[in-house]
Amino acid sequence: MISLLLKSDALIDLQKKAQAIGKETDAAMVGARGAANLVRNHLFNLDQSGANQMGGVRTHFYSSAAKSITEPEQIGEGNVAFSITKVGLAQRWLGGTITAGKGISSSSGGPTKYLAIPARSEAYGKTPAEFDDLTFVPTRAGHAMLVQALQTEMVKGKGKDFHTREVGGLVMFWLTTEVTQQPDPAVMPTEDDINEAARYSMDNYLSRLLATGGAN
Contact residues toward another protein (CB under 8 A) are 1-8, 10-11, 23, 26-27, 29-31, 33-35, 37, 40-41, 44, 47-48, 58-60, 63-64, 66-68, 70-73, 75, 81-83, 85, 87-88, 90, 93-94, 102-104, 106, 112, 125-127, 129-130, 188, 191, 194-195, 198-199, 201, 204-205, 208, 212
Residue 198 Cβ vs another protein, minimum distance, rounded to whole Å: 6
Residue 33 to residue 117: CA distance in whole angstroms:
36
CB-nearer residue toward another protein: 134 or 198: 198
CB-nearer residue toward another protein: 63 or 148: 63
Residue 80 to residue 29: CA distance in whole angstroms:
7
Assess contact for 189 and 43: CB atoms under 8 A. no
CB-nearer residue toward another protein: 110 or 158: 110
CB-nearer residue toward another protein: 88 or 169: 88
Residue 130 Cβ vs another protein, minimum distance, rounded to whole Å: 6
Strand 178-181 and strand 2-7: the pairing is unpaired
Label residue 137 left, alpha or beta by phi (over 0 means left) and psi (-120 to 50 means alpha). Answer: beta
Residue 144 to residue 212: CA distance in whole angstroms:
68
Per DSSP, the residues of 151-182 read: EEEEEE-STT-EEEEEE---EEEEEESEEEE-
Residue 24 Cβ vs another protein, minimum distance, rounded to whole Å: 11
Helix (H, G, I), strand (E, B) or coil at 116: strand
CB-based burial label for 151 (10 Å; 0-12, 13-18, 19+): exposed
158's CB contacts (< 8 A; 6+ apart) are none
CB-nearer residue toward another protein: 37 or 177: 37
Residue 140 Cβ vs another protein, minimum distance, rounded to whole Å: 27
For residue 167, report the phi and psi dihedrals to the nearest 5 degrees: -125, 170
Residue 216 Cβ vs another protein, minimum distance, rounded to whole Å: 9
Residue 169 Cβ vs another protein, minimum distance, rounded to whole Å: 23
CB-nearer residue toward another protein: 166 or 192: 192
